[in-house]
Amino acid sequence: MSLATEELDRFDTTERVVHWVTAVLLLTLLGTGFALYAGPLSTLVGRRELVKTVHVIAGLALPVPLVIALLLPRRGRALRADVRRIDRFDAEDRRWLRRRTHRRARTGKFNAGQKLNASFLVAAGIALLGTGVIMRWPDPWSVDLRTGATFVHDWFAIGVLLAVAGHIVFALRDPDALGGMLRGRVPARWARKEHPRWYEEMTGRPADKLAPARKPESRAGSPR
């Protein structure tokens, strides 16, 4: 197979199903959440109860696909392996995060930005679920804790909105990466360029030998 057409398996069916079900739930949450938040001052009031019900149900459902998939003995294997990759940061990830060395970082299956984004979204999901439960069932909590829950819910939601917007922009700018989540496979040449260590792991071939000789990097320190 020539490198031009060769493809590598990136995400299995389980991972893609989890991704897209979660995406639908998350977009629902962002949409209904924004309507609840900004709605009373505009015209959405009429449907407020329905919007609230949808928001609560989608919120409670959000972790379900991921948790179920993680528990699947066989079909959850690839997902669990990716979770372990995302958890670990090595020297290359630190290089990726530093502006000066960013371009020279040899990333594995996920770059440090993807890892941090994933970790942030998991944490935000937990925080939003917990504070959302306090907001939806407020009776056992003191006024201060309810106010605190609303405060945390607001700011984590803004964070998630920004992270998801960034995620979508990056995906749309990189059709090969997007294809990985749509079809499960990515072009080998894309992997070699964007995720060289993962390319090596998958093919057993060195990534750099085939790559064009690296130019003496004068732009390495310039703003990206």
Residues that bind another protein (CB under 8 A): 37-41, 45-46, 48-49, 77, 81, 84-91, 93, 108, 115-116, 118-120, 122-124, 126-127, 130-131, 134, 143-152, 154-156, 158, 197, 200-206
The residue among 25, 17, 167, 6 whose CA lies nearest residue 78 is 17
User: Is the Cβ of residue 61 or residue 83 nearer to another protein in the bound state?
Assistant: 83
Q: Find the shortest distance in angstroms from Cβ 71 to another protein.
A: 18
The residue among 112, 62, 70 whose CA lies nearest residue 92 is 112
Q: Find the shortest distance in angstroms from Cβ 144 to another protein.
A: 4
Residues 156 and 153: their CA atoms lie apart, in Å, by 5
The residue among 87, 85, 104, 88 whose CA lies nearest residue 96 is 104
User: Is the Cβ of residue 20 or residue 37 nearer to another protein in the bound state?
Assistant: 37
The residue among 177, 175, 122, 169 whose CA lies nearest residue 11 is 177
Question: Regarding beta strands 7-9 and 185-187, do their DSSP bridges make them parallel or antiparallel, or are they unpaired?
Answer: antiparallel
Q: Find the shortest distance in angstroms from Cβ 99 to another protein.
A: 18
User: Is the Cβ of residue 7 or residue 93 nearer to another protein in the bound state?
Assistant: 93
Spatial CB neighbours of 15, under 8 Å, sequence gap ≥ 6: 69, 78, 79, 82
User: Is the Cβ of residue 31 or residue 130 nearer to another protein in the bound state?
Assistant: 130
User: Is the Cβ of residue 154 or residue 217 nearer to another protein in the bound state?
Assistant: 154
Q: Find the shortest distance in angstroms from Cβ 133 to another protein.
A: 11
- Which of the 8 DSSP states describes residue 7? E
